[in-house]
């Protein structure tokens, strides 16, 4: 499945970009991405395994999806 996303070197970079652009930050296949909500919905519908990324007081938290 191809999707529209931007890859980042670190989770922090992805989270910062996601917050600035109102997108979602995710980790998939040991890589970090930002993508629009519509693309996240496509991954959910396609049952693709990934995790949402968020920063909770300086600690990166992952929320697994479709495991």
pLDDT tens digits, 3-59:
789 999 999 999 999 999 999 999 999 999 999 999 999 999 999 999 999 999 989
Cβ atoms 29, 65 nearer than 8 A = no
Max CA separation in the chain (angstroms): 34
Cβ atoms 4, 26 nearer than 8 A = no
The alpha carbon torsion through 14, 16, 21, 23 (nearest 10 deg) reads 50
> What pLDDT is stored for residue 3 in this prediction?
76
Q: Is the dihedral of CA 35, 36, 37, 41 positive or negative?
A: negative
pTM value > 0.85: yes
Q: How confident is the model at residue 2 (pLDDT cuts 50, 70, 90)?
A: confident
């Amino acid at each position: 499945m191809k999707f529209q996303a931007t890859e980042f070197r670190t989770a922090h970079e992805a989270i910062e970009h996601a917050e600035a652009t109102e997108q979602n930050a995710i980790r998939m296949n040991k890589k970090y991405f930002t993508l629009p909500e519509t693309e996240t919905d496509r991954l959910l519908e396609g049952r693709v395994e990934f995790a949402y990324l968020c920063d909770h007081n300086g600690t990166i938290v992952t929320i697994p999806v479709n495991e």
